[in-house]
Amino acid sequence: MIQVAQNGDRPRGAHPALPVTLDDLVADAIACAAAGAGSVHLHPRRPEDGVQSLAAEVCDPVVAAIASAAPGLEISLSTAESIALGGAAGRIEAIRAWRTPPHVVSLNLAEEGSIELGAALLELGIGIEAGVFGLDDADALLRAPWAARVTRVLVETIFEHDDCAAVELAVAIDARVASLGRPRLWHGDDHATWAVVEAGLAAGHDVRVGLEDSIVDRDGTPAPGNAEQVRRLFA
């Protein structure tokens, strides 16, 4: 399965094809699905100022619009603590207010309150993409009471920007969490994204591409838009 991280926390204008508005995200999701993506991961923004938000009035409309326009496409949102809502308690309150929830959300094990947030997500019937940045996070996931119930593990080497080191870290994380028997999705950050994705595909894992992860292509030139990144994986 290929997931596309559509925008992340990148500011408007960081890349010509970066989708920010609801209409942009929907059009981009349709194009990604047509290119072969099975999932889109996005950070909804408030329409008045483009700031990320977990508020129901921001998230519900974009999730509903993508679900209607691209049926069968998995929709993933972020619960990163940088989307500030008063810590884990604020994030839990926000997701409880959703009336059109996504299929899954990413949950970073390194962040405070991740165990409580995971329990709340499962109670609400929202799948967990367990974000693991390193071996300490992998061990935290293995200790989590809901570890065996996650939808997938995100093998996220986002703090390692050397290609070889990023792949080595992905392999180590993957080996540490393999005992859970859950699918693993590999992705990196910036230029190292491509080495991690290629190694993940070669190992038979799910992978993630998209403008959240890299606006730089393999050769150092500007990366193409989200749908084209997907198409290249099938080339």
User: What average pLDDT does the chain have?
Assistant: 97
User: pLDDT confidence of 235, banded at 50, 70, 90?
Assistant: confident
In terms of Cβ atoms closer than 10 Å to its own Cβ (0-12, 13-18, 19+), residue 123 is exposed
Mean pLDDT of 73-79: 98
Q: What is the pTM of this model?
A: 0.97
Its CATH class, for the domain covering 2-233, is alpha beta
CB 106 within 8 A of CB 83: no
Q: Where are the domains of the chain?
A: 2-233
- Three-state DSSP at 5 gives strand
| Per-residue H/E/C for 106-129 | EEECCCCCHHHHHHHHHHCCCEEE
* 5-32 exposure pattern, b = at least 16 Cβ within 10 A, e = fewer: bbbbeeeeeebebbbbebebbbebbbbb
Q: Where are the beta strands (DSSP E) in the chain?
A: 2-5, 39-42, 74-78, 104-108, 127-132, 152-156, 184-187, 206-209
The string of pLDDT tens digits covering residues 202-217 is 999 999 999 999 999 9
* pLDDT in the model for residue 87: 87
How far out from the chain centre does Cα 163 lie?
20
Q: What is the pLDDT of residues 110-161, one digit of tens each?
A: 999 999 999 999 999 999 999 999 999 999 999 999 999 999 999 999 999 9
pLDDT (mean) for 32-54: 97
Residue type present at position 117: L
User: What gap in Å lies between CA 160 and CA 123, rounded to an integer?
Assistant: 34
CB of 35 within 8 A of CB of 230? yes
